[in-house]
Amino acid sequence: MAETFFSLNDTERARILGMGRRKLGREPHILEKDIWVVGALAALYSSQFANILTFKGCTSLVKGYGVMERFSEDADISCDLRYILRDDAMVKNIPPDGIPSSTSKAEKWAERAQHRLLPWLEASIKPMIQETLDAQGMRASIVVERRDSNDCIFVNYEPLHRGTGYVEPSVKLEFGALYTSEPFDKLPVTCDLASIFPELVFPQTSARVLKMERTFWEKATSVHVFCQQDRPLKGRSRHWFDVARLADLPRIQTAMQDTSWLNQVVRHKEMFFRMKDRDRNWVNYRDCMSGRIRLVPKNEGARKALREDYAAMAADGVLIGPNPLKFPVLLEKCAALQDEINARFS
């Protein structure tokens, strides 16, 4: 029987991570956290809840589709709205796409979902993850917390290697319950080290991954909002990177010619994710469908904050490709993409 990574002692595991650095050119703390990310996902997708959970966001592009030349440290998980509200007497007749007919109804659904999600994570998901990790010798403390209005599970582990501090030794599983579980692709998720150490067993799973077309427009519309607010926050530069990289893919080029993808995202966000711009006016998501999408901040202060966050991300080894995009090139690509989308949808 093949030996598992977590059956090794700390010294042996640290040595494996160091060897991974030499073979893959990636920092040991990045390779180590990758194992924990996959381990947490494997716990979710080996559970009875696998069919109501959809892996989405940045990490799904990296670990599911393998299309991003960067490390993504946390995971966004969508729990099917219809499951969370399945027996809620205050919510009736959820349509197949999960989009309500009015903002007032959306507010009620969101309030009820938020009321139910955190207790469900505490009672059902936390003990399941703990039991699964313990059985594999993965020593971690599991914490359920509502942080910045987001319901999260943190898988905190004692690292064998540390970086600059940008990447923390904690896997954040950020859960939401304002989506259905579609559309998705069923994809394998494996650890980066598994490819160079076939004699060892690492965590792996098969996950329901939100289709990349939907993820592209989710990210592009989020960047549009950040630009309207003119104050990109810490950790947000990854969205610009992902949008620029995704736009080069033939599959996304095809999606940009199909208005149904963007229309679906706009309809969903204008119900559940209403946001205000820098002047405290509501951001109009339909601008993205009428030739007025913004993918480059106009404000110099916002560009400076974005540049600094991008530099910090690169300094901690998050950009893992052989030729990572320089920041000026990234903005140039986003500006060209902005023009392309606006020309197509005007």
Backbone angles phi, psi at 182, to 5 degrees: -120, 160
d(CA 202, CA 16): 12
**pLDDT score for 93:** 80
Q: Which residues make Cβ contacts (< 8 Å) with residue 306, sequence separation at least 6?
A: 232, 236, 237, 240, 297
**One-letter amino acid of 294:** R
d(CA 63, CA 190): 7
Q: Whole-model pTM above 0.85?
A: yes
13: confidence class by pLDDT, cuts 50, 70, 90: very high
pLDDT tens digits for range 250-307: 999 999 988 899 999 999 999 999 999 989 999 999 999 999 999 999 888 888 989 9
25-28 contacts at long range (C-beta below 8 A, 24 or more positions apart):
25/320, 25/322, 26/71, 26/192, 26/317, 26/320, 27/161, 27/163, 27/316, 27/317, 28/160, 28/161
Residues 149, 217: contact at Cβ < 8 Å? Answer: no
Q: Is the pLDDT of residue 236 over 70?
A: yes
> Domain limits of the chain?
3-210, 213-345
Q: Is the pLDDT of residue 233 over 70?
A: no
**pLDDT score for 232:** 60
Q: Is the pLDDT of residue 346 over 90?
A: no
Q: Is 119 exposed, middle or buried (0-12, 13-18, 19+ CB in 10 A)?
A: exposed
Mean pLDDT of 54-71: 88
DSSP H or E run through 42? helix 28-45
**pLDDT score for 320:** 67
pLDDT tens digits for range 298-345: 888 888 989 999 898 888 777 766 678 899 999 999 999 999 999 988
